[in-house]
Amino acid sequence: MILSCNNIDKTFVDNHVLKNASFHIEDYEKAAIVGINGAGKSTLLKIITGSLPADGGLVTFAKDKSFGYLAQHQAVDSENTIFDELLTVKQEVLDLESSIRQTEQEMKQADGAELDSLLKKYANLTHRFEDMNGYACKSEITGILKGLGFGEDEFGKKVATLSGGQKTRVALGKLLLQKPDLIMLDEPTNHLDLNSITWLETYLLNYKGAVIIVSHDRYFLDRIATKIIEIDNGVVSSFHGNYSDYAVQKEHLRTEQMHAYLNQQREIKHQEEVIDKLKQFNREKSIKRAESREKMLDKIERLEKPVEVKADMKLTLTPHRTSGNDVMQIEGLSKRFGSHLLFENVSFEIKRGEHVAVIGDNGTGKTTLLKIINELVPPDGGSIRLGANVEIGYYDQEHHVLHMEKTLFEEISDAYPYLTNTEIRNTLAAFLFTGEDVFKKISALSGGERGRVSLAKLMLSEANFLILDEPTNHLDITSKEILETALNAYEGTVLYVSHDRYFINKTASRILELTHQEFVNYIGNYDYYLEKKDVLAPTAKETAPQADAPSAQKLDWKQQKENQALLRKRENDLKKCEERIEILENRNAALDEEMAKPEIATNSVRLQEIASEKEQIGKELEELYIKWETLSETE
């Protein structure tokens, strides 16, 4: 065991964040801390690292074990270049290399006993240098920087000139180079693109130490975590497995708790009814028995009703009217900034009902594409044509659609003046803004809170074409799941940019990957994209297809669309089959109940009618069972 936390307690004013939290981390274990925003995840990490004192409890590290901590926001300020800043971690190796070079110089001037002594020293130094992997030191730094998304042309940039996200990546690189026995990471994927996240996953999976991660990236947690530490209303619980395993266990546990609560409530109600009845008899014995039951009832430890967090926030997206089948057509679109080409001669179309995710490395132009569609940025060439009755609802990650000087109430009332005060308050309450919260300025809100306000405006817009830029940024896992459910039930069309692979997997029916200045199309979710990307992704060596011949990509796209249509038809047939089976099974059960009634048992005419109907149901069910089995096995 590398870390033990026993009865950790922490309160901020009237907010009891951690209530006697206890858990432990084994050597080489990969654990994740999860919970809603404000649950106390970062607080717990700070208490473990000693940067924040606990009100009670004990944090114990195993003897001679080291740890490294990456906070969400880094104050890295250095005049070093990026490469040199990581090189500072290897100072011992650099000093050793300097000693080796110095010893080499001294050996040139020495002989006899002095030379023998220097040779021994040289042998010891080089042996230590090899043990510390000194020869691979600089290539190791290069590998980590490239893995975290820095190009070699950026290695010479000064750290002081970097953005906050880039500084966080530098700090992460330094931490990985240190190789402590326990790594603690607070939202490490926030500033990484998909390729860098995948690289970090592989690195951590193969890491020869323990890892604790705070993250809302469920795909990341599914790949890394072997234990989930949940903070729920101050109570800390541990679950074995990854995030998906935890979600199943949590739902099962909550169902059990709800059953126990409901059973206890039924028993309490039953006992209260018996007590009332006994008192109504108004006899000495019955009154004593009532009093005895009351004493027993008072001793019962009342269970609290389990709280369903998802029920608090309500998100329903409903188009005001249906758009035409052709929602948007883009032809020959190009955009560059100075000498930097983002994309060129791009063409694609979006049909009604599609959920299209745009993915790609940072800086490739994904957000720029959305801004061009929303006429916030002009294209250099090409055209964008919207279909009939298309109404756009736009959610941008920087929340430019919000007015910083307005209050939450004003933000909604000014955008939708026909809403009553009650309707505005109810809308904001659905996104967890109640009481005096509605009079806060937008500028005073956190990133997650601004995200919820933007979603509230989006819900009220009744648009039939949603364009979303990183909609899950700053949202906790529960809020992401609410948004996923709303989008999957949405009957309009969705185009969004996201690096949240779990979210993409749940909501996308099609993926456009922006790579090598062009878009590659995948008809499916993120898992499908991973399966097909090596087949469909263009390479730098490929030559451009002839203008008058359909490219392999277009042919493959057509085949994918045909396959997708067949898949949708099979799923629709399967759903109809299941619905018909349920209707017939319910009818069969109702007939069985009717047959059991005494008045029917003596009615031979009705019994014969029931028997005939049950026979017909049985025949149809048999056919449906075979059909269902066939549809279920079809790939």
User: pLDDT tens digits for 585-599?
Assistant: 888 888 888 888 888
pLDDT at 308: 60
Q: What is the pLDDT of residues 87-146, one digit of tens each?
A: 999 888 888 988 988 988 888 888 888 888 888 888 898 898 888 888 888 899 999 999
On whether residue 512 sits in a domain, the answer given is yes
Q: What is the mean pLDDT of each run of 10 residues along the chain (635 residues)?
A: 94 90 94 88 92 93 91 77 91 89 87 87 88 87 92 90 85 92 91 87 93 92 94 92 92 88 89 82 77 89 74 73 92 90 91 94 87 91 93 80 89 89 85 86 83 84 90 81 88 92 93 89 91 66 38 53 74 82 85 83 82 86 72 58
Q: Determine the number of helices (DSSP H) and then strands (DSSP E) in the chain.
A: 20, 18
Which residue has tokens 């996953």? 201
What does the alpha-carbon distance between residue 159 and residue 351 come to, in Å, rounded to a whole number? 45
Question: Model-level pTM greater than 0.85?
Answer: no
Same domain, 396 and 525: yes
On whether residue 42 sits in a domain, the answer given is no
Angle, CA 57 vertex, CA 54 and CA 63 arms, to 5°:
100
Q: Of 53, 48, 42, whose CA–CA distance to 4 is shortest?
A: 48
Q: Classify each residue of 359-385 as buried b or exposed e, where b means 16 or more C-beta atoms within 10 Å of its C-beta.
A: bbbeebbbbbbbbbbbeeeebeebeee
Number of domains into which the chain is organized: 3
Same domain, 291 and 358: no
Same domain, 521 and 585: no
Same domain, 400 and 469: yes
Same domain, 363 and 456: yes
On whether residue 422 sits in a domain, the answer given is yes
pLDDT at 77: 74
Same domain, 283 and 408: no
Same domain, 404 and 285: no
Same domain, 288 and 405: no
Same domain, 345 and 267: no
Q: Using an 8 Å Cβ cutoff, are 342 and 365 in contact? A: yes
Q: Using an 8 Å Cβ cutoff, are 88 and 175 in contact? A: no
On whether residue 441 sits in a domain, the answer given is yes
pLDDT at 426: 84
On whether residue 172 sits in a domain, the answer given is no
Residue-range definition of the domain harbouring residue 596: 568-633
